[in-house]
Amino acid sequence: MEFSLGYTLWLREMKRFFRLKSRFIGSLGMPLFFLIFLGMAPINFPNAPEGSYISFLAPGIIGMILLFASMGAGMNLLWDKEFGFLKEIMVAPVKRRTIVLGKTAGGVTTALIQGLVILVLALPLGLELTGIHPQFTALGFSLGFLAAIGFMILIGFTFVGLGVAFASRMKDFHGFQLIWNFILFPVFLLSGALFPLDVFPNWLRPVAYANPLTYGVDGLRGSLIGVSEMPLLLDLAALVISSAIMLFIGAYLFSRAELD
């Protein structure tokens, strides 16, 4: 029963995602804007393939769309609360964590799809994939791509959990949107998505290192173009811990939420 409900909630998110094509296309607008216009900046990064800024930038933009899409799962939860859908499924004899897992799996899957779309669109714009190894080899590319998928999933779990946590405590869309704007852009800008962390002021670097997305973006760069500021195992460990914490907090707050 619990697995069936979780799968149904995941499937519902998939159907909603593919049916609302305008929302999907619109979500790609800002990331593509960053890729196209910032990618043309005359900036060279010696460690990136051919020193291109677009190769450095693209993993950060993938992290950006994963962040926005994952937090959007909280908005979907608020919609379900507003229109009574959650009340209907609450009567099912299942634990609330099953509902959270189903909604989370749907949010992570949709975020992963959007991240892969941006990855594909970045290729004709100049993204040079090398994989984990500095030189392009079949093994290096394959391992790098699989590692990138893993980092995308962990980013999704981290911020879907955060979105569910906030949505569980919020009562209206306006409040959630204020929280959205207050959190998303600082998290994105402080993740090293646009510039290396070593250009940040010394007083700002500890804040950047406390940001889970920093490790996600760094892990994506290390996986896709072979350039990372931290060891990939450190990026992986930080994301595993942050995703576990966020999912626990989201599930806990949702289990204590009251539906009017």
Residue 44: DSSP 8-state: B
Can you give the pLDDT at residue 87? 66
C-beta of residue 145 within 8 angstroms of C-beta of residue 132: no
Q: Where are the alpha helices (DSSP H) in the chain?
A: 2-19, 21-27, 29-33, 53-82, 85-90, 96-122, 138-169, 173-189, 205-209, 212-224, 232-256
Can you give the pLDDT at residue 136? 47
Range of the structural domain that residue 233 is part of: 2-256
CB atoms near residue 124 (< 10 Å): 7
Can you give the pLDDT at residue 44? 59
Can you give the pLDDT at residue 90? 66
Can you give the pLDDT at residue 210? 93
Can you give the pLDDT at residue 63? 93
Can you give the pLDDT at residue 242? 95
Q: Is 188 helix (H, G, I), strand (E, B) or coil?
A: helix
Can you give the pLDDT at residue 135? 47
CB atoms near residue 12 (< 10 Å): 17
Q: How many domains does the chain contain in total?
A: 1
Compute the distance between CA of residue 98 and CA of residue 260 in angstroms, rounded to an integer: 21
Residue tagged 């896709």 (tokens):
224
Can you give the pLDDT at residue 105? 86
Compute the distance between CA of residue 219 and CA of residue 152 in angstroms, rounded to an integer: 9
Can you give the pLDDT at residue 1? 53
Over the chain (260 residues), what is each successive 10-residue block's mean pLDDT? 69 80 74 78 57 81 90 75 67 70 86 90 81 53 83 94 82 72 87 86 91 94 87 93 92 73
Q: Is 52 helix (H, G, I), strand (E, B) or coil?
A: strand
